[in-house]
Amino acid sequence: MFNLLRRSLAIEIDGFVRYLNGCFSSGIVRSFTASAFIQNRKKIDPEVFSHLSGVIIDNFYTTGNEALNYLNGIRVLAVDGSRLTLPCTAELKKYYGISKNQYQVEIVQARVSVLYDVLNGLALDATLDSEVATFD
């Protein structure tokens, strides 16, 4: 479910539920329809993704993890940043401000940056901020 969609949503959901049930011996995760997912996805608190990412990262970097890759004993980290075009809603305009594209059409853009563990293929942290620089 956290991967890019390469198949239909129904097939992705089925694979995700099977994966979760493989992680839990009791098979407690029930399947759900693509329609149910679409109707309820806005109810998901965005903070859950930060929390889940933190849990995954903490578990991955535990002492003794043989799967960790290093370059001469050092983790190789990289930061990348970009601009992200967001939906043009009143709420997002107020928070992120308005930019104009090459056709002088108003758009909402945010700055995004990601800290990435290059050798282990993990995004360790990400930020989403307004286009306008603010200094404290």
81: β partners: 113
Rounded CA gap, 18 and 27, in Å?
9
Q: Walk along the chain (136 residues) in steps of 10 and give the mean pLDDT of each run.
A: 69 84 71 88 88 86 84 96 93 90 90 95 91 58
pLDDT at residue 113, rounded to an integer = 95
pLDDT at residue 30, rounded to an integer = 80
pLDDT at residue 1, rounded to an integer = 46
Contacts by 99-107 with C-beta closer than 8 Å and gap 24+? Answer: 99/131
CB atoms within 10 A of CB 80: 11
**Which helix H or strand E contains 39, and what residues bound it?**
helix 34-40
pLDDT at residue 24, rounded to an integer = 65
Distances (CA, A) of 88 to 107, 111, 123, 130: 6, 15, 27, 14
pLDDT at residue 75, rounded to an integer = 94
Q: Is the pTM of this model over 0.75?
A: no
Record the tokens describing residue 125, joined without a space. Answer: 């942290």
pLDDT at residue 72, rounded to an integer = 96
